[in-house]
Amino acid sequence: MGDQQILILGAPGAGKGTQSKRLAEEYDLEHVTTGDALRENRDMETEHGTPREYMEAGELVPDELVNEIVEEALSSADGYVLDGYPRNESQVEYLQRITDLDVVLHLEVSEETLVDRLAGRRVDPETGDNYHVEFDMPDDEEVRERLIQREDDQEETVRERLRVFEENTEPVIDHYEDHEGYVRIDGEQSPDEVWEEIKEAVDERTA
């Protein structure tokens, strides 16, 4: 297993999931993603209710719960790519207490592109791979037929998620701009172009 400690930042729809998967494969890292962990446990009863209630509204799930998920996942990983966390300043403080980061990747994408990507996004429930109704449908008919839309990718929820991002997560990005491993990447490029830049940035900072 690789030992690179990588954080990937960006708005919902910026391409964090797609690129994190590639990073995890290429460098043999643990892919730690709070969104997937919460989706898998969406009906778990907690003292704050279930994750589902927050996720369907496009709101953040309480810090206590996500902090615990991340701490547990990081404690069993050497190298990792952290995706979807931290999403507010209190999560930043928590993360700083439990680990250091070698590389901080920031995928930058305009709001207009984010709305188009999220509203057209479809997910393969078997592999977790993302597609898009206009730009990227799978060739395999069987896969095409089983694609689903995430409940929080409905347009109204998308708008709320982007608002929550701007309010809570933009300050997180401002915070990491001063990190020595910080790299800004133009996330409007094709997935392969974004990947090339990511690989170069990671190799430069961890070789």
Under rule CB under 6 A, residue 61 binds ligand AMP:
yes
Distance CA 54, CA 164 (A): 12
* 153/197 with CB nearer ligand AMP: 153
- Distance of closest approach, residue 183 Cβ to ligand AMP, in angstroms: 20
**Residue 199 bears catalytic tag:** no
- Is residue 148 helix, strand or coil? strand
Residue 80 in contact with residue 32, Cβ under 8 Å? yes
Residue 187 in contact with residue 10, Cβ under 8 Å? yes
- Distance of closest approach, residue 50 Cβ to ligand AMP, in angstroms: 11
* 159/205 with CB nearer ligand AMP: 159
> Interface with ligand AMP by CB under 6 A: which range of 2-10, 30-38, 119-127, 130-138?
30-38
Q: Which of 21, 117, 121, 122 is catalytic?
A: 121
**Residue 184 bears catalytic tag:** no
Residues 75-134 that bind ligand AMP (CB under 6 A): 84-85, 87, 91
* 115/206 with CB nearer ligand AMP: 115
Under rule CB under 6 A, residue 7 binds ligand AMP:
no
Distance CA 26, CA 42 (A): 29
**Phi, psi of 127, rounded to the nearest 5 degrees:** -110, -15
> Up-side HSE of residue 154: CA atoms within 13 Å toward CB?
8
User: Partners of 33 in the beta sheet?
Assistant: 83
Residue among 59, 3, 8, 33 nearest 176 (CA): 8
Under rule CB under 6 A, residue 169 binds ligand AMP:
no
Asked if the bond preceding 86 is cis, omega within 30° of 0, the reply is yes
Query: Which of 23, 66, 105, 162 is in the footprint of ligand AMP by CB under 6 A?
Result: 66
- Distance of closest approach, residue 24 Cβ to ligand AMP, in angstroms: 15
Under rule CB under 6 A, residue 187 binds ligand AMP:
no
Q: Which of 21, 117, 122, 161 is catalytic?
A: 161
To which H or E segment does residue 194 belong? helix 191-206
- Distance of closest approach, residue 61 Cβ to ligand AMP, in angstroms: 4
**Residue 150 bears catalytic tag:** yes
Under rule CB under 6 A, residue 9 binds ligand AMP:
no
Distance CA 66, CA 70 (A): 6
Residues with a known catalytic role? 16, 87, 121, 150, 161
